[in-house]
């Protein structure tokens, strides 16, 4: 695999500059994740939902550590109550247990269990996944018509998982941009697809309710069965 560093490092630096510029100096750290007024303003989740997602991730992490200790590697990414589990567990039973534990955590709406059964992924592979994630984020920032600040990117063994509240057109553009990054083996869309009209309602001056209770917004998964759509990488 060709190291993409020399070809794309300037884009990663540009992404960092953009993020710093948008966030300003009001960033605070909550549960290990950076949050700021700028993020709240550009994220299509309410501020309360973003806090709920951070809380869910912390609780899942604590529960996984309690049940598996260092025998497994379970990462949780929560977006609008949808929780993506990635990492490695020793057995199929452990995989099912991790999903069951996660589903019982308050405000979890859906669990996408992408855990792999097997030995823990080597550090070198995980480091490469981190690099891919940074390159995908940079690509999304560079791509016109993609709301990059409201899209969550997770990479596991070269598979890129995209989460967010987007229109169908935005989802397609984001997937194509992600698939063009060196080292990406597959793109899995875990988007909640909404209409452009509903996004206009979200930006109106009227108070916006939480997505789980709002009568004006009914999230539709990007695939009818499980909300999962896989885009092959050429």
Residue 169 is predicted with a pLDDT of: 96
SS (H, E, C) the chain: CCCCHHHHHHHHHHHHHHHHHHHCCCCEEECCEEECHHHHHHCCCCHHHHHHHHHHHHHHHHHHHHHHCCCCEEEEEEECCEEEEEEEECCHHHHHHHHHHHHCCCCCCEEEECCEECCCCCHHHHHHHHHHHHHHHHHHHHCCCCCHHHEEEEEECCEEEEEEEECHHHHHHHHHHHHCCCCCCEEEEEEEECCHHHHHHHCCCCCCCCCCCCCCCCCEECCCCCCCEEEECC
Query: Could you tell me if 96 and 154 lie in one domain?
Result: no
Range of the domain at 209: 121-234
Decide which of 112, 137, 152 is a domain's last residue: 112
Q: Is 9 inside any structural domain? A: no
pLDDT confidence bin for 229, thresholds 50/70/90: low
Query: Could you tell me if 108 and 125 lie in one domain?
Result: no
Q: Rounded mean pLDDT of 97-106?
A: 98
Residue 11 is predicted with a pLDDT of: 52
Query: Could you tell me if 157 and 232 lie in one domain?
Result: yes
Q: Are 190 and 228 in contact (CB under 8 A)?
A: yes
Residue 226 is predicted with a pLDDT of: 40
Q: Rounded mean pLDDT of 180-185?
A: 97
Q: Is 199 inside any structural domain? A: yes
Residue 36 is predicted with a pLDDT of: 36
Rounded to whole angstroms, the Cα distance separating 80 from 84 reads: 11
pLDDT confidence bin for 200, thresholds 50/70/90: confident
Tokens coding 226 = 């499980």
Residue 201 is predicted with a pLDDT of: 76
Q: Is the pLDDT of residue 21 over 60?
A: no
Number of domains in the chain: 2
């Amino acid at each position: 695999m060709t190291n993409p560093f020399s070809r794309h490092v300037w884009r990663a630096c540009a992404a960092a500059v953009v993020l710093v510029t948008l966030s300003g100096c009001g960033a605070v750290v909550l549960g290990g994740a950076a949050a700021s007024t700028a993020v709240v303003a550009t994220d299509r989740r309410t501020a309360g939902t973003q806090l709920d997602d951070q809380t869910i991730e912390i609780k899942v992490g604590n529960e996984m550590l309690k049940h598996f200790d260092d025998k497994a590697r379970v990462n949780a990414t929560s977006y609008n109550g949808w929780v993506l589990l990635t990492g490695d567990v020793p057995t199929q039973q452990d995989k099912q247990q991790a999903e069951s534990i996660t589903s019982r955590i308050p405000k979890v709406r859906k669990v996408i269990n992408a855990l792999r059964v097997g030995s823990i992924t080597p550090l070198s592979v995980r480091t490469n996944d981190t690099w891919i994630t940074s390159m995908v984020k940079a690509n999304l920032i560079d791509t016109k018509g993609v709301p990059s600040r409201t899209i969550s990117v997770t990479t596991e063994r070269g598979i890129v998982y995209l989460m967010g509240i987007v229109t169908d057109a935005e989802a397609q553009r984001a997937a194509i941009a992600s698939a063009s990054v060196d080292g990406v083996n597959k793109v899995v869309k875990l988007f909640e697809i909404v209409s452009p009209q509903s996004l206009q309602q979200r930006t109106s001056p009227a108070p916006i309710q939480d997505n789980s209770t709002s009568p004006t917004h009914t999230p539709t998964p990007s695939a009818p069965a499980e909300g999962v759509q896989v885009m092959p990488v050429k």
